[in-house]
Amino acid sequence: MTDEQKKKLEQQLWAIANTLRGKMGADEFRDYILGFIFYKYLSERMHLYANRILSEGLEPGETAPDYAAVKADSINGMDIIAAVREASVEALGYFLKPGELFSDLARRGAQGEFILGELTAILANIERSTMGSASEEDFGNLFEDMDLTSTKLGRTEEAKNDLIAKVLVHLDAINFQLEDADADILGDAYEYLIGQFASGAGKKAGEFYTPQEVSTILARIVTTGKERLKSVYDPTCGSGSLLLRVAKEVQEVADFYGQEMNRTTYNLARMNMILHGVHYSRFDIQQEDTLEHPAHEGMLFEAIVANPPFSAKWSARPIFLQDDRFAPYGRLAPSSKADFAFVQHMLAHLDDNGAMAVVLPHGALFRGGAEGAIREFIIREKNWLDAVIGLPANIFYGTTIPTCIMVFRKCRETEEVLFVDASTGFEKAKNQNYLRTGDIDRIIEAYRSRAERPRFSHNASRAEIAANDWNLNIPRYVETFEAEAQIDLATVTKDLWAVEAEMKGIDAKLRAFCAELGLESPV
């Protein structure tokens, strides 16, 4: 897809979203528009798959029926639907009847038919079709945030129906080209809308979305030197965009794992996986509090990425000192700041050949107490800290604070830790700063080469970090001071005398002009 086509698609999608935007807040209409896009995707994928099934084993000259035209009330139609249902649930994980396809419902809505009740039933049927199958958990309650009875859609049933029909008709006009295996137009569209909703959702955006530029840095770091990954894990996965970003940096990721506490965001993540063509058998996204109720105990992952909620509160119950994730440190992160609790959790799940990159507030680099003891243990006892990268302020949704990326590896060949100060490399936008392509490339080049650059990067020895009492504040390691040019006072004095002499000449001329004109001189 060309840049021009992409821009046109984004304009179409945002125009459709605006149909709902005036009715409710960004976080509410997001759930509707993304839910409808997901329904369209499932429908078109079902249609393509069914037609492929129906075209198999045909005799020369035979023409396969179009699945969308199959009549469910005919004997032949019932046989076809039964056969397609069995194959579809196994291959795709769900099933839709011909009359439940998105395009058919949109067509009837455009003709003025009342489709609201049928749409509600179809969304429920999609989930029901997975019951008893391997995909049941991955499709369960996916549409629960789409309340089609809400008065925000309209005061009457007819008004709600008209609005929903309008949205479906506009979406139906967009060709997402699912038949092109190399295209990911629908996935990109979904990502675009998630980003747009994040920019308009204020502080809440941090709950479900990491800016794409930061995701790219994290993804490139953990995939350094690798073309394939056995697994990637995000313990605070939000909408799943960070997991999918990692997949774009390698040829293949075998399996995706994630956990998300917020129910609505958890649904977004599962939709996002499926929309990007990740088969339900290749992802395991769970909904629960990661620190209090970890869902993937005992598992190790080759790549781990995360953007946890900054300085969140957690229970820090003493019982956790017996938890394998925290016991080796002998200290728990304070209950008022869970930053290092997430780090400890992630390190417990990091495989020996793996890499981990996590976004944290700057305070995690220098706060004392339990956090200082945990930092010391990681560096002095384990040698797991690989790099610290300082990011610009105001690049995350909902907060203006400067942040950093901490990188960890378990099998390191050096005791040096790379410090990168990338805090000044950004473009200032209207309400937010953002990293440019060149800024991202400079960070990744510094990490991969580990070359030292004046006022940008430095490799600190363990002794150097110990001398700083395990404080990782970046200015302690990367000198950012630029000496001002020296001023030659003698030259400045000479220049001032020259200006004084010139001014005396100008004053004399001004007095002469005033005398000729018979005016009183101002000097």
CA 10/CA 15 separation, integer angstroms: 8
List the end-to-end C-alpha distance of the chain, in Å, as a whole number. 72
pTM for this prediction: 0.86
CB atoms under 10 Å from CB of 325, counted, come to 17
Contact of 446 with 418, CB cutoff 8 Å: yes
What is the CATH class of 3-199?
Answer: mainly alpha
Q: Where are the domains of the chain?
A: 3-199, 207-476, 488-523
State phi, psi for 341 to the nearest 5 degrees. -65, -40
Q: Do domains 3-199 and 207-476 have the same CATH topology?
A: no
Q: Has domain 207-476 been given CATH number 3.40.50.300?
A: no
| 410 CB burial (10 A radius; 0-12, 13-18, 19+) | middle
| 397 CB burial (10 A radius; 0-12, 13-18, 19+) | buried
For the chain, the farthest-separated pair of C-alpha atoms sits apart, in whole angstroms, at 115
User: pLDDT in tens for each of the 523 residues of the chain?
Assistant: 667 777 777 778 777 777 776 677 666 777 888 889 899 999 999 999 999 999 887 777 778 889 999 988 888 889 899 999 999 999 999 999 999 999 999 999 999 999 999 999 999 999 999 999 999 999 999 999 888 998 888 899 999 999 999 999 988 988 877 776 555 666 667 777 777 766 655 444 444 568 889 999 999 999 999 999 999 999 999 889 899 999 999 999 999 999 999 998 899 899 989 988 899 999 999 999 999 999 999 999 999 999 999 999 999 999 999 999 999 999 999 999 999 999 999 999 999 999 999 999 999 999 999 999 999 999 999 999 999 999 999 888 767 888 999 999 999 999 999 999 999 999 987 778 889 999 999 999 999 999 999 999 999 999 999 999 999 999 999 987 655 667 778 887 888 888 888 888 887 887 887 777 777 777 6
